[in-house]
Structure 1
Amino acid sequence: MSALVARLDSFGDVLLAGPAVRAVAARHGPVVLLCGPRGEPAARMLPGVGHVLVWDAPWAGPGGPRTERAGIEEIVARIAALEVRSGLVLTSYHQSPLPTALVLRMAGVRQLAADSEDFPGTLLDVRHHRAPSAHEVEAALAVAEAAGCPLPAGDDGRPRVLPPPDARELTGSGPYVVLHPGASVPARRWSAARCVEAVRLMTAAGHRVVVTGGAGERARTAEVAGDSALDLGGRTGPAELAGVLAGAGAVVTGNTGPAHLAAAVGTPVVSLFSPVVSAERWAPYGVPHVLLGDQRAPCADTRARECPVRGHPCLESVTAEDVYRAVEKLL
């Protein structure tokens, strides 16, 4: 394989890199996708990926490993063995691509491109400057195009995943709405009490509700589902979750990975969006969506993991009635 794309952080970040991955693959063939362990499940779902290389980089997120010579030498050797000729380093607007670029240079990658506000010296061949407030999808596509990899004709540039499995054995037949109450970052979660209210209101209005969540969220999904919704907490891996979301009429969730997965399978999203990151950059992309939450709250753009404001007003100001009306609008 001649090209590598690096996106080292989370599940949703890797999904949003998907259109840029397809652009690179259109020119170079199936790519090596260098990702972290949190992004690996998404990497294995992306069209255009021929090989997934997983590395927990010390600079990729909270709780990463210490920077040690042995670990750097190991990943350099693994990349070098693939004989990759060119690379695209994708990062969020607040991250530097230069540590990853250094690793790739040490591995013998000859042509490198990335967004970089910092002077890169000889680490980058293409130093691109992203447009202010560009959505993550558009920013990644822009740097790919600057590297000579535009989207091919007929590609609409939306996030996509490989066709998911049929989920009707999990969901049953008939239409439904998904409520995904969890998020890896506590500041981005709507409260369980609000979720319970929304489930009751939607089911009373005649909607069938399916509640989803990971293995560590079973207590929360059971509380939210109660006796009136179908609880799939802990029963879906990433591919199965994609299938469940693909079959839904709408998905209600926070600004977290499943919002981007819903968009990648073409399902409209009611986005309970905590403004700790910018909706301009991180809202569901390429599908109809309704954004709920106070985007001018004091926590805006803090990237806080725990809500810094008592009472979590940015999301607790959203009512079950707000969510119900948004669902009705999208349906």
Structure 2
Amino acid sequence: MTRVLVARQDNLGDVLLAGPCVRGVAAHASHVTLLTGPQGRAAGDLLPGVDDLLTWRAPWIDADPQPVTAADTEEFVERIRAQAVDEALILTSFHQSPLPLALLLRLAGVPWIGAISEDYPGSLLDLRHRVDGDRPEPERMLSLAEAAGYPLPAADPGGLAVRGPLPDVARLTGREPYVVVHPGASVPARQPSAAVSHRFVAALVAGGHRVLVTGAPAEKALTAEVADGAAVDLGGRTSLAELAAVLAGAWVVVAPNTGPAHLAAAVGTPVVSLFAPVVPAARWAPYGVPVALLGDQHAQCRATRARTCPVRGHPCLDTIDPADVRRAVAGLARAHP
């Protein structure tokens, strides 16, 4: 049996989408270390199959990178060396290179490294895997594990998953059925305006739904504006595990392209995905659960990877009709006992 390091150094959603790959490795390895960035660590804590978790802010990936220093780099290399891993799989998005991390892993003495790479890797990779087309990210990452000899067991359906049991959150949710609206995202281009999200909430309440609005501590002002007396405001009141439990209890989750949308998929809850086309929905839409995709997928911002909307008025999301959100929720709720 081997000790394997799996690296995914992006945000919460990216780490959750790596779950099937991690489970494939865990089914065959004696020990799995997951390397995340600081923004994704909490998701790593929830992934089945992870034995050990390391965190390091990669300056070529992190959205708020720190200056590169010899001391920080050398400390990281020594931390990896202490893990004594036999193999490593580097997971990246299509626009990221695995080669900087591969170089550091080589310096740490990792004898075998695999990654998806379009760039010539020289001696940095033992497995240079390629994936064509717009495969969903979980399948893309799982294909690397399969190419490295770590397929999922036949009994594993390959969806997203989190560790159980999840905490009891009845004190937060109450006992009556509810729909969750999660209005925030890690970058502004991917979320509707607060006023538009409030209209979604109002339409759902008018349709007879009890609505809970969720968000991180930094999003408390946003969730307060979106809830605005019409819904229960849970902004900043949950850990990630508690948020997972809140989402698991919902009939449907309404969310933009953000980590909690993938967390909802990981706990099996249908998602109304308010998806800005700055990245392809084929890759990044919630995976493995019923999804209603709303938002203009042919808007001018399509495939720009923009962090701030480049089009006046944010039309891809802010023109979504609240009645369409209500209809989408009703349709998914009927399909989700």
TM-score by length of 1: 0.98
What do the CA deviations read for 1:78-104 (whole angstroms, capped 9, x no partner)?
010110110000000111100011111
Identity across matched positions, percent: 60
Secondary structure of 2:192's aligned partner: coil
What do the CA deviations read for 1:23-77 (whole angstroms, capped 9, x no partner)?
0011103410011000100001000001100000111122211222111111110
Structure 2: distance between partners of 1:294 and 1:3: 41
- Give the structure 2 partner of residue 121 of structure 1: 122
Structure 1: distance between partners of 2:22 and 2:132: 19
Q: Is the 8 A contact 1:294 1:315 kept in 2?
A: yes
- Give the structure 2 partner of residue 313 of structure 1: 315
RMSD: 0.9
Secondary structure of 1:154's aligned partner: coil
What do the CA deviations read for 1:121-165 (whole angstroms, capped 9, x no partner)?
111111100121111101101011001111111111111011221
- Give the structure 1 partner of residue 30 of structure 2: 29
Q: How does 1:30-49 map to 2 (within 5 A)?
A: 30-49=31-50
Does structure 1 residue 247 correspond to structure 2 residue 255? no
Q: Is the 8 A contact 1:215 1:235 kept in 2?
A: yes
Q: How does 1:182-193 map to 2 (within 5 A)?
A: 182-193=184-195
Q: Is the 8 A contact 2:265 2:289 kept in 1?
A: yes
Q: Is the 8 A contact 1:91 1:97 kept in 2?
A: yes
Q: How does 1:145-294 map to 2 (within 5 A)?
A: 145-163=146-164, 164-294=166-296
Return structure 1 stretches of 4+ with deviation > 4 angstroms: none
Structure 1: distance between partners of 2:233 and 2:138: 32
Structure 1: distance between partners of 2:45 and 2:167: 14
Q: Which residue identity is paired with 2:221? A: A
Q: Which residue identity is paired with 1:32? A: T
Structure 2: distance between partners of 1:322 and 1:299: 22
Structure 1 residue 168: Cα displacement: 1.1
Secondary structure of 1:308's aligned partner: coil
Structure 1: distance between partners of 2:296 and 2:64: 29
- Give the structure 2 partner of residue 89 of structure 1: 90
Secondary structure of 2:309's aligned partner: coil
Describe the shift of the 1:134–1:19 C-alpha distance in structure 2 as closer, same or farther (beyond 3 A). Answer: same
Q: Is the 8 A contact 1:181 1:195 kept in 2?
A: yes
- Give the structure 1 partner of residue 21 of structure 2: 20
Unaligned runs of 5+ in 1: none
Q: How many residues align?
A: 331
Unaligned runs of 5+ in 2: none
Q: Is the 8 A contact 1:101 1:124 kept in 2?
A: yes
Structure 2: distance between partners of 1:62 and 1:214: 18
TM-score by length of 2: 0.97
Structure 2: distance between partners of 1:41 and 1:135: 22
Structure 1: distance between partners of 2:31 and 2:301: 41
Structure 1 residue 7: Cα displacement: 0.4
Q: Is the 8 A contact 2:207 2:326 kept in 1?
A: no
Secondary structure of 1:298's aligned partner: coil
Secondary structure of 1:88's aligned partner: strand
Q: Which residue identity is paired with 2:226? A: V
Q: How does 1:94-113 map to 2 (within 5 A)?
A: 94-113=95-114
Q: Which residue identity is paired with 2:88? A: G
